[in-house]
Amino acid sequence: MSQQIPQTLLITLTGKDRPGVTSRVFSTLAVSGVEVVDVEQIVLRGRLVLGLLVTAPRDWKKLSAAVEETAAELGMSVEIDRGVGDNRSRPVGRAHVTLIGTPLLASGMAAVAGRIADCGANIDRMERMARYPVTAIDLHVSGVAPEVLRTVLAGEAAAHGLDIAVQPANLLRRGMRLIVMDVDSTLIQGEVIEMLAAHAGHEAEVAAVTAAAMRGELDFEASLRSRVAMLEGVDASALDEVYQQIVLAPGARTMVRTLRRLGYRFAIVSGGFSQITDRLAEDLGIHFARANELEIVDGKLTGRIVGDVVDRAGKATALRQFAAEVGVPEAAVIAIGDGANDLDMLNAAGLGIAYNAKQLVRDAADTSVNVPYLDAIIYLLGISREEVEAADAEAGIVTPAPPV
């Protein structure tokens, strides 16, 4: 009885990477007229791993011998496995699981991979998005709903000090999106109202009330009005001084610059003050801004706010209005914030990110980022550090080299 001819051959080559390896292998395959069904290639520390799934010719043994000869000439190892058919179709439920660590330890990877397997899911592919100043790895996972994965992996994130984001693998991740950000302690370091309060001699009192409000212990509007009242009599020139003292979150300019190149739109929505946020928006190239307006009379702050307060509900309302103006669904909006007054905004977005946030915000958000680099957000969108640096280099922007 004749031996059954396999439908496909899986060819795996490993060895030292150098120019011409891939072309040599495909030239060998071309002689037999096979079709390429699937291919994947990676390079790690100068070592090449090339996997090829091809249709098997009638004389598949002759092709196998030719591939083995080519591998020997290249000084590479090769394995050839016979099989039937194509790769199995991907199960329902596909997600991107992005891990961010400083550092990313093998124990954390083992825990995450184990929990994914426990769900009956499979890791189809892994790729590095960044190696410095954080390590970011993107896992392509199939076989389980993203909502289930998000719940299952939340515990591993906390136990191993990782940031883990789970997103559906769909076209939204690749389309134009709107990013809506909080300002104080998110886009910038520190709280503007506390900096202004220093000019009135009430910094400590205001800081204590701000902290309680961000933890959700106080009504935001009432607490804001009480804090602003302590600013009565402060010269309006203090706003200019405070603006000059503002320090952006590390990576803020990189994130905005990079995503604007891809057509993203940006908005800032703040419980702070328009006299500051409008200038920030102009400086960074942010398309929309909404915040509270401090009343100024005769060059002095009156300790009052003009108009309605931008509170927790107001932030969510602003997000929906900006999304409508841009013409994107709320599912295509990414919201970033740190305090209790950001919760409605985070919930209204397709992806709500708690950035170095209070615990109740981390518990409620879709995902959290706890590294002090705002541009880590780009890794959640499938953009690698190498792509960012290449685009910056073309624009003449020099990126500091990572440590060896």
Q: Is 128 helix (H, G, I), strand (E, B) or coil?
A: strand
Confidence band, pLDDT 50/70/90 cuts, at residue 115: very high
**What per-residue confidence (pLDDT) applies to 274?**
97
Q: Computed from CA positions of residues 339, 345, 348, 354, in that sequence, does the dihedral angle turn out positive or negative?
A: negative
| E strand residue ranges, 298-372 | 300-306, 333-337, 351-355, 367-369
Task: Determine the Cα–Cα distance for residues 52 and 42; give it in Å rounded to an integer.
Answer: 12
Distance from C-alpha of 264 to C-alpha of 288, rounded to nearest angstrom: 12
Question: E strands along 170-230, which residues?
Answer: 178-181, 188-189
Residue 85's SS3 state is coil
Cα–Cα distances in angstroms (integers) from residue 365 to residues 151, 175, 345, 357, in the given order? 11, 22, 10, 10
pLDDT band at residue 68 using 50, 70 and 90 as cut-offs: very high
What mean pLDDT value characterizes the chain? Answer: 92
Amino acid, single-letter form, for residue 266: F
Q: Which of 182, 338, 344, 366 is catalytic?
A: 182
Confidence of residue 63 (pLDDT cuts 50, 70, 90): very high
pLDDT for res 280: 97
- The answer on pLDDT for 18 being more than 80 is yes
Residue 37: partners with Cβ closer than 8 Å, 6 or more residues away: 8, 53, 54, 55, 86, 87
Q: Supply the pLDDT for residue 72.
A: 95
The whole-number pLDDT of residue 87 equals 59
Provide the pLDDT confidence category of residue 275 given band limits of 50, 70 and 90: very high
**What is the rounded CA–CA span in Å between residue 118 and residue 197?**
52
Tens of pLDDT, residues 357-398: 988 999 899 899 999 999 999 999 999 999 999 999 999 998
Question: pLDDT of 166-186, one tens digit each?
Answer: 999 888 777 779 999 999 999
Mean pLDDT of 241-261: 96
The confidence band for 1, taking pLDDT boundaries of 50, 70 and 90, is very low
What pLDDT was estimated at residue 2?
46
- pTM over the 0.95 mark: no
Q: How far is CA 290 from the centre of its chain?
A: 24
CA distance 399 to 381: 21
pLDDT in tens, 200-231: 999 999 999 998 988 889 889 999 999 999 99
pLDDT at 289: 98
How many residues in the chain? 404
Task: Check whether 254 has a pLDDT greater than 70.
Answer: yes
Mean pLDDT of 245-266: 96
* Distance of alpha carbon 11 from alpha carbon 4, whole angstroms: 19
100-115 mean pLDDT: 93
Domain annotation for the chain: domains and CATH numbers: 8-83 (3.30.70.260), 94-169 (3.30.70.260), 179-189+233-372 (3.40.50.1000)
- Kindly tell me the sign of the dihedral angle through the C-alpha atoms of 397, 400, 401, 402: negative
Q: Any idea which of 31-40, 250-259, 262-271, 281-290 has the lowest mean pLDDT? A: 31-40
* pLDDT score of 5 more than 60: no
* pLDDT above 90 coverage of the chain, percent: 82
283 belongs to the catalytic site:
no
- Indicate the range of 35-49, 80-94, 117-131, 268-282 predicted with least confidence: 80-94
- Is 81 tagged catalytic? no
How far, in Å, CA of 248 to CA of 257, rounded?
A: 14
Q: pLDDT of 284-328, one tens digit each? A: 999 999 999 999 999 999 999 999 999 999 999 999 999 999 999
Annotated active-site residue in 17, 138, 163, 184: 184
